[in-house]
Structure 1
């Protein structure tokens, strides 16, 4: 294994991490933004008020996109394991 291959595998792993985490992060970001705007408009400054909608949103995103996320992760792992004998030569 040369350095270029290791860097390439690491880069693909980071890309996969971003791809799998982005839906949850974006959804919770937008829900947090909406809750913050509502808190500012109503002057309710309860810090814990933003957590419950974010947690529910994260669970819903994982519930609806979890199958796709798991399929992408399994495909990536299969590709890594299948190519190990080729890379070791």
Structure 2
């Protein structure tokens, strides 16, 4: 295995992490922005107000996208395990 293959594996791993985290972080960002705008317009400055909506949205996003996220992780892991015999040579 040469350095190019190692760099490719690391790049693919980082890319998969980005793809799997982006929808969850995007949902948290959007709900955080909505709550922040609500706080600014109503002059409510409670720090804990953003916690519950973000937690609920993140849990809902994981519930909705969990099957897809698991499939992506499974395919990547199977691909890595299938590469093991070629790495032993």
The alignment's TM-score, normalised by the length of structure 2, stands at 0.97
RMSD: 0.7
Rounded to whole Å, the distance in 2 between the matches of 1:29 and 1:46 is 18
> What whole-Å deviation, never above 9, does each CA across 1:45-82 have from its counterpart, x for those lacking one?
00000011000000000000000000100000000100
Q: Report what 1:64 is aligned to.
A: 64
Runs of 4 or more, structure 1, over 3 Å off, are: none
Rounded to whole Å, the distance in 1 between the matches of 2:8 and 2:44 is 49
The alignment's TM-score, normalised by the length of structure 1, stands at 0.97
Q: How many residue pairs end up in the alignment? A: 89
Q: Report what 1:50 is aligned to.
A: 50
Rounded to whole Å, the distance in 2 between the matches of 1:50 and 1:62 is 18
1:4-83 matches, within 5 Å, as 4-83=4-83
Q: Which runs of 5+ in 2 are unaligned?
A: none
